[in-house]
Structure 1
Amino acid sequence: MITSRRHFLGRTLLLGLGCANVPIFTASAVSDSRPNFIVILCDNLGYGDVVCFGSELHRTPNIDRMAAEGMQFTDFYATSGVCTPSRASLMTGCYPRRVNMHVAGDGGAVLRPVSKKGLNPKEVTIAEVLKSRGYATACIGKWHLGDQLPFLPRRQGFDYYLGIPYSDDMTQRQGRDWPPLPLMENEKVIEAPADRNLLTKRYTDKAIEFITANKNRPFFVYLPHAMPGSTRAPFASKEFRGKSANGPWGDSVEELDWSTGEILRTIKQLGLDERTLVIWASDNGAPRRNPPQGLNLPLVGWGYTTAEGGQRVPCIMRWPGRIPAGTTCSELCTMMDLLPTFARLAGAGIPKDRIIDGHDIRPLITGKAGAKSPYAAFYYYYMEQLQAVRSGKWKLYLPLEAKWQNFSGRTKPSHAELYDLEADLGETRNLANEHPDVVTRLLALVEKAREDLGDVDRPGKNQRPAGFVAEPTPRNLRQ
């Protein structure tokens, strides 16, 4: 459903008190004008961390203005509660299990430095799809899809890369062979350890430089910020440090807002406003902290889980003249939809020799009357384990003998829990006993997912392999 922004704000307040090696392509009709694409991805930012999604702690005027000039998505999902799987979906348009990026090579939840594993170069990324239509492509920020050379952005369709190849908390530690935190330009380490206080500013400046240099041709800028990130105390430049009402977390959020404003100002000054689709989102929900820092309200739960607060993320899309201003979309969409949607908008081909799980959501983003979510079901995985499914307004947490939790290997039994997310976003009333027919229908969908994508100790018949190297090497600074 597409509604006005005023309707969304009222709804939010109410809920807060109670959203083969060579791919075969099929090309769509070639667009008369290829739009530019900018994807701004925050790290671990919570659903309720910006004002337009309900924050009362942070000042986010630029992100709020972007929402007022575009469309807010209340039911936009990452495909995982953690970094690596979520980013793999954005790049490939697939569930993480589809491309075997749902767990790290060592069995952990995310890729670590000097890992043998990475995004398979045989996968077709969103950057490669757009390059086939003549786009200039840049990845500026956190990659986290493998730090070995075959997996880095320059080998995955990007013309230019600046950033840290994994999470900013993965610093040199005793007992590990991790190098000093590397800031890379293309495939060379240019600073180690990287100055994390300056990352948001440096990424912003470089993105603006790339946009300006490519203003006369179509471009794709993927700007995955490092902040607020995974450290106990997020980083910010001196201009923002100590200035918010929410400590280091708030400082980093407010600097991200500044960065978003600089990007929007640049495309406006260059006369690119009506030719540029800008998407702002988070890779997953805010993690649990004591005391709390990021907020996922009015959702329940935290990042790193399959709760709504772990995988439903704030998302805004802005494209003057194409996306109706001041509107809200409450239909289910996901990070997987960017690749097929961008491909169609650019007149590019979509791989037809493999399954792409995402959908073309142009009818939704352009506010087409009666447009509905293309998803019959959406699946929530926690590493290897399928834990929940959503279909329409219903979310079912699966009955499991041993539900994985906390990345610790610990498990606990769980029973079926069914929630009406339209009426009960806080997931407070279990309706499984009242609607056994719905439970039965959703369990049938789950069995299809297990056959297709797999589950614990059960490979999916349509999974594809990740990439591996035999002898990984650290990314070190060489004088």
Structure 2
Amino acid sequence: MSNDPARPNIVLVLADNLGWGELGCYGGGILRGAATPRIDKLASEGLLLHNFNVESDCVPTRSALMSGRHPIRTGCRQSVPAGFPQGLTTWEKTLAECLKTNDYATAHHGKWHLGDIEGRYPSDRGFDEWFGIPRTTDETQFTSAIGYTPEVAELPYIMEGKAGEKSKNVQIYDLESRRLIDEMLVARSKDWLTRKVQEQKPFFLYHPLVHLHFPTLPHNDFKGTTGQGDFADSMAEMDYRVGEILDHIDELGVQDNTVFIFASDNGPEFREPYRGTAGPWSGTYHTAMEGSLRVPFIIRWPGQVPQGTTSNEIVHVTDIFSTLLSIAGSEVPSDRPIDGVDQTTFFRDPVGTKSPRTGFLFYIKEELRAIKWKDWKLHLVWEPKVNQSSGRLESPYLFNTVRDPKEESDILAFNTWVMQPMMKLKTEFERSLKYDPAPPDPLKQW
């Protein structure tokens, strides 16, 4: 039943490229041209993390979220164009597949980016139904781009599908539908939630928003409302859409037994005019700077997670996988290394306990870029801005992220002791990689 406390409902809303510094509750809001009252209120009702960390771009983070494993293991190391092998192989077990074994109803409404061929769509990977886009929002610009024809690059579509059936195209995903899609996604989620509550099924709703991914274009109802341009208008819309889902959960009477998470998949966009901000942190996504690693994360779980709390303890996106399975009483796969750690105890008592995670390794594609351990950050490759890499460092840079949030003063010479725990973390992880060979995937095309 949807009110069984042993199997609480789960709603996971994931923004796209929302930087740490954009929301009011993270020091942005009206300072960034748009108040975010609904998400700010959500933060007051639960736990806000200052040190929630993700992977380098859309595909790596979403794969880590769905599998509990770093993309260096799963092969989901970067976003690639349509038609290329991409996304989670059939061997990986997704969060939705694991929850299905515990009789959860599951739905995906939003951006998938973990497979765009039959066998890899959400409805093939544990979701009862899905609606949204298989890849990315960049593609909305295709049909209006000079020289584009469908013969050279396939048309992007909004799609839908149900488990056991073939996914199908709904409409072309162009700039006009870009403005409408987040409204469409919320309508789908509201309808699905109503049906699942009526059926008295515990549910997992994964709702990956399209905002604020470029081209960052607001719905016409929000265009011009902030007076600060499309980006701020889109942020106002994003806040409103999250509020619509929250209100619907209240109307259905299931708030008290629903774990609600709002987070972002990556740090801010670096391209003008859609460039965002990570607040006090330097860098954007596609770098190993803190502005890439740290993104917003809020969890509300009435009666379980204390209200109005914040923490600077380290939590990683892979931890969502292990934590939600623990909360739902579902088993974590035991036949493969799982990088996520169970944060349930910490989430329930973020003041009296500490995160069981001390750090992690950060890769971009196949390259180990940085190691994060407690309040320390070691850069093995220095690329403070996208496409401005100075290459592998003979002497790595070490920063203290509390005293030097912008990573400006290398202090390795005075703190070489930090290399010991960091190298231990690196050695243990690389050893686990050596004994983690994935079997071949029958859907891989080449």
Q: Does the CA contact (< 8 Å) of 2:106 and 2:129 recur in 1?
A: yes
2:234 aligned partner, one-letter code: S
Distance 1:128 1:376 in 2: 28
RMSD: 2.2
Structure 2: distance between partners of 1:126 and 1:325 = 26
- Aligned residue in 2 for 1:36: 9
SS, match of residue 123 in structure 1 = coil
* 2:209 paired residue number: 225
For residue 357 of structure 2, the aligned residue among 375, 388, 412 is: 375
Partner of 2:401: 421
Match of 1:114 among 63, 69, 83: 83
State the alpha-carbon separation in 2 of the partners of residues 60 and 66 from structure 1: 10
Change (3 A) 1:428 1:193: closer
SS of the aligned residue for 1:252 comes to helix
Alignment partner of 1:203 is 2:168: no
Asked if structure 2 preserves the Cα contact closer than 8 Å seen for 1:419 and 1:430, the reply is yes
Q: Secondary structure at the match of 1:138?
A: strand
The structural deviation recorded for 1:290 is 3.4
Q: For 2:159, give the aligned amino acid.
A: M
Q: What's 1:22 paired with?
A: none
How far is 1:147 from its partner? 0.3
Match of 1:82 in 2: 57
CA deviation string 1:249-294 (max 9, x = no partner): 2121111100111111111111111110110011000021335631
Q: 1:164 to 1:422 in 2, by over 3 A?
A: same
Distance 2:43 2:66 in 1: 24
Structural mapping, 1:13-412, within 5 Å: 33-55=6-28, 56-57=31-32, 58-78=34-54, 80-102=55-77, 109-171=78-140, 172=142, 173=148, 177-186=152-161, 187-194=167-174, 195-215=177-197, 216-231=200-215, 234-290=216-272, 293-367=275-349, 370-398=352-380, 400=381, 406=386, 412=391
Q: Which amino acid aligns with 2:402?
A: E
| Counterpart secondary structure, 1:344 | helix
Which stretch has the larger CA shift, 460-469 or 142-151? 460-469
Structure-2 change in CA distance of 1:388 and 1:468 (3 Å)? farther
> Tell me, which stretches of 5 or more residues in structure 1 are unaligned?
1-30, 103-108, 454-459, 473-479
Identity rate of aligned residues, in percent? Answer: 33
Moved more, 164-173 or 269-278: 164-173
Q: Are the aligned partners of 1:119 and 1:466 in contact in 2 as well (CA < 8 Å)?
A: no
Q: How does 1:400-479 map to 2 (within 5 A)?
A: 400=381, 406=386, 412-414=391-393, 415-453=395-433, 460-464=434-438, 467=441, 469=443
Letter of the 2:224 partner, please give it. G
Do 1:419 and 1:429's aligned partners in 2 also have CA atoms closer than 8 Å? yes
Number of matched pairs:
424
Shift of 1:384: 0.8
TM-score of the pair, normalised by structure 1: 0.84
Deviations 1:352-389 (A, max 9, x none): 11111101111121125532122233111111100111
Q: State the distance in 1 between where 2:442 and 2:79 align.
A: 15
CA distance in 2, matches of 1:210, 1:158: 12
SS at the partner of 1:226?
coil
- For 2:443, the aligned partner's letter is V
CA separation of 1:407 and 1:289: change in aligned 2, threshold 3 A: closer
- Alpha carbons of structure 1 residues 403 and 330: separation in structure 2 relative to 1, 3 Å: closer
Distance 1:345 1:180, change over 3 A: same
Report the TM-score when normalising by structure 2: 0.90
Query: Who is 2:164 aligned against?
Result: none
Give, as a single letter, the amino acid of the residue that structure 1 aligns with 2:354.
Answer: K
2:145 corresponds to: none
Question: Aligned partners of 1:405, 1:64: CA distance in 2, in Å?
Answer: 30
Aligned-partner SS, 1:442:
helix
Secondary structure of the residue aligned to 1:349 is coil
Q: What is the deviation of 1:443?
A: 2.9
The 1-side partners of 2:151 and 2:362 are apart by 32
Instruction: Report the CA distance shift for 1:280/1:470 in structure 2 as closer, same or farther (over 3 A).
Output: closer
Q: Is the contact made by 2:283 and 2:385 (CA closer than 8 Å) also made in structure 1? A: no
Pairwise CA distance, 1:117: 3.0
